[in-house]
Amino acid sequence: MLAPSLPSLPSLPSPGPTQRLKHVAKLGQQADHTATKALPNTPELERQHVRQFLTIGLGSAFLARSDARAPRLSRASRAQRRGKAKRVRVALQAEGSEGDPLLAEAKAAAEAAKLQLEAAKLRQEAEEMRQQTALAQRRARAVRLLGSEDVPGIGLPELMARLQEEQVSLTGEQALEVAAALGKTEEPYFFRFEDLNSEAFDKKLTDIEAQNALKAKAEAEARRRAEAAAEAAQRAQRTQGAAGSPQAQTTGQEAIDDDLSLGPRLLGSLAYVLPVTEAFKLMFPLIQIFPPLGIIFAPIALLTVLLNYLPFVPLLVFVLFIVLAQSKDNVPRLLRFNLEQAVLLDMALTIPSFILSTMQFSGAGEAVLVGGAFVFALVFGVSVYAVFCNLDGKYPDEVPLISNITKNVVDRQTFFDESPNEDQR
């Protein structure tokens, strides 16, 4: 039916798959157009799928005819064309994998498997190197124990001595265990190079070193516990000895009698009237020259006059303070401390009073005025400090030298007892 003559086509180079299909369709359309002009219109040709089939068939016929007319390619050209096609397929596969998540996941899994395989190979190589190193170390140790590879062997005592040089101490029982591990149960024990280089010998030595390390650790722990127990016992003895000493007994009694209420604080503050009035006597020459000072210190002047109105009153007050300071049963410690410190201040005034009196008789009137004012200011300042401490409920124990002596005197049983520090020594 399709017998019309087809036009001759020029020879074309063989294109790629997609271009070749387009070329076939184009040739089929041209042949279809030519056949349509030559053939009458029939109902079969009017159908769409028949026309498409006819178009592809005609195009294939034209393409086969053009291939038949085309010159034969050489083997090198065909190989070059196949290589180019392979590169195109690889490029298409790469482009497809970038857009396809399944292909990307498969590729990542393949890379992970490859890395795991390489890691396994590295681990195997490391294990082989470790084994080779262990073998080399065992061989070197065996040579050191023997002294030379030419030596046939050594006995058990010599082996123990050589191991001692290797920092491995063996007892007699452990040495017998080593011999038993090497299969030597009867004397005389003789160890050859093969025995000292064996895995059994190395394993037994490793076990013995581990046992020695654990034993040393246990001994160190026991020694530390013994030292801690001895130190605790010494502390207990010191505490018990301190509790039984007179100082500790005195401290306990004072803790019971240490009353810091308002009454002992006020009485302790009044105790400093004695040293202040005695020091104020040194101010009389200065008050005679500057009478306004008498008005400023009028209360102190009045107390001084009252205490010296009757003879021996200051001396009686002085003795009363000493007796009360030593009465630990009925007098709180704060009051006793202030009474004793006031007595010591009054006693300390004896030396400057004697010096100033001597200077006054020698004609150094100006020095007497300055010295008397200085001594009074010093005693008055100490007394003011003590009063403020007492009102605050604290001990006025920061006076240099005098406060330390006061503590030692107050802590004695009587005025003539030895110091607690001497008793303890």
Integer Cα distance of 274 and 281 in angstroms = 12
What is the structure's pLDDT at 26? 60
The pair phi, psi for residue 355, each rounded to 5°, is -65, -45
Q: 385 or 326, which is more confident? A: 385
The percent of residues in the chain predicted with pLDDT above 70, rounded, is 69
Tens-place pLDDT, residues 185-240: 777 777 887 787 788 888 888 888 888 888 888 888 888 888 888 888 888 887 87
Q: 424 or 412, which is more confident? A: 412
In this prediction, residues 342-360 reach a mean pLDDT of 83
Integer Cα distance of 56 and 63 in angstroms = 10
Judge whether residue 45 has pLDDT over 50. no
Tens-place pLDDT, residues 107-144: 888 888 889 988 999 998 898 888 888 888 878 887 88
Cα torsion 82, 88, 94, 99 to 10°: value is: -140
Tens-place pLDDT, residues 63-109: 555 554 545 556 666 667 666 666 656 555 555 555 567 778 888 88
Closest-CA residue to 316 (of 326, 308, 304, 327): 308
Whether 208 and 178 have beta carbons less than 8 Å apart is answered as yes
Whether 159 and 201 have beta carbons less than 8 Å apart is answered as no
What is the structure's pLDDT at 36? 52
Query: Which pair of structure tokens corresponds to residue 303?
Result: 């107390």
Residue pointed to by tokens 């008793």? 423
255: confidence class by pLDDT, cuts 50, 70, 90: very low
- Our measurement of the distance from residue 307's CA atom to the centroid of its chain's CA atoms, rounded to an integer in Å, reads 70
Integer Cα distance of 334 and 271 in angstroms = 11
The sign one gets for the Cα dihedral 277, 282, 284, 288 is negative
256: confidence class by pLDDT, cuts 50, 70, 90: very low
In this prediction, residues 363-391 reach a mean pLDDT of 84
Tens-place pLDDT, residues 3-13: 444 444 444 44
Average pLDDT, whole number, for the chain? 74
Q: Taking the CB of residue 114, how many other CB atoms lie within 10 A of it?
A: 10
Query: Which pair of structure tokens corresponds to residue 354?
Result: 């004697």
Give me the residue spans of the domains in the chain: 1-70, 257-424
